Amino acid sequence: MTTILEIRGLVTSFDGFRAVDGVDLTIEEGEIRFLIGPNGAGKTTLIDTITGLAKAAAGSVCFAGKEMLGLKEYEVVREGIGRTFQTPTVFEQLSVIENIDLAASFRRPFISLLRRRRGIDDAIARVLDEVGLAEFGPLPAGTLSHGQRQWLEIGMLLVQNPRLLLLDEPVAGMTKEERTRTGELLQGIALNHTVVVIEHDMDFVRRYASQVTVLHEGKVLCEGPIAEVQADPIVQEVYLGRAADRTAHQEAG
């Protein structure tokens, strides 16, 4: 396997607070990696820094042999890194098809954007099918439910065919069926993409994760297969342990 993303000594700070504090992370091509950790562990900030939304104070982010730090957000996307957000943001006034079509057109020369869209490209129809929104194509994205919006976002990402997908809590706020559906979607995507998923929901992580990286207070705490990580006493203390404490409290009280 070849390394696609190599992060070394990454530091991101906001007014002196080091949200990401010396992270080293290596992602292999074709891998699906889950990033977990308690609130404020720096998971989202890490993704923000990779994609150019937050400025790094130190370190390097090497993607496919190229430094990403210092690039603008849209340049990072053009290098082949796509991301979604915790709260799905789709263009509500545009139809579902138009949302995906705009995502698909990002490599077109600017001049050709001045022409109208004629019909629906095969690639767009395929992605609509894949994320299960085929019958909602002509409707404004604003009419979609929360879960459907998240799928639309994932669809917008897929149609761009990025080499690396960064998904920020894709199942947050979803119903049980939607989680299952999203998990299956993720497994399908992971077959031919490299995916990094931030996730909070431990049930979801247990079901769909193989390799897990635990972040804590801006640092990588440990890394490995989910079963191994769960058995790690330090991880239990900072993260899983706290949840156990809470359940213990609830049972006692």
Binding site for other proteins (CB under 8 A): 51, 72-74, 77-78, 82-83, 85, 89-94, 98, 101-103, 105-108, 110, 113-117, 132-133, 135-139, 143-145, 147-148, 151, 156, 160, 175, 177-178, 181
Q: Where is 246: in which H helix or E strand? A: helix 241-252
Give least dist CB 82 to other proteins, A. Answer: 7
- Which of 143, 247 has the CB closer to other proteins? 143
CA 80/CA 50 separation, integer angstroms = 12
- Which of 37, 82 has the CB closer to other proteins? 82
17-28, strands of its sheet edge to edge: 17-28, 3-14, 58-63, 66-67
- Which of 115, 249 has the CB closer to other proteins? 115
Hey, what are 189's tokens?
């995507």
What residues form DSSP beta bridges with 19?
Answer: none
Give least dist CB 110 to other proteins, A. Answer: 7
Give least dist CB 219 to other proteins, A. Answer: 27
- Which of 105, 230 has the CB closer to other proteins? 105
- Which of 90, 171 has the CB closer to other proteins? 90
Three-state SS for 20? strand
Q: Where is 223: in which H helix or E strand? A: strand 219-225
CA 223/CA 232 separation, integer angstroms = 10
What residues form DSSP beta bridges with 140?
Answer: 95
Give least dist CB 49 to other proteins, A. Answer: 14
Give least dist CB 186 to other proteins, A. Answer: 14
CA 38/CA 237 separation, integer angstroms = 11
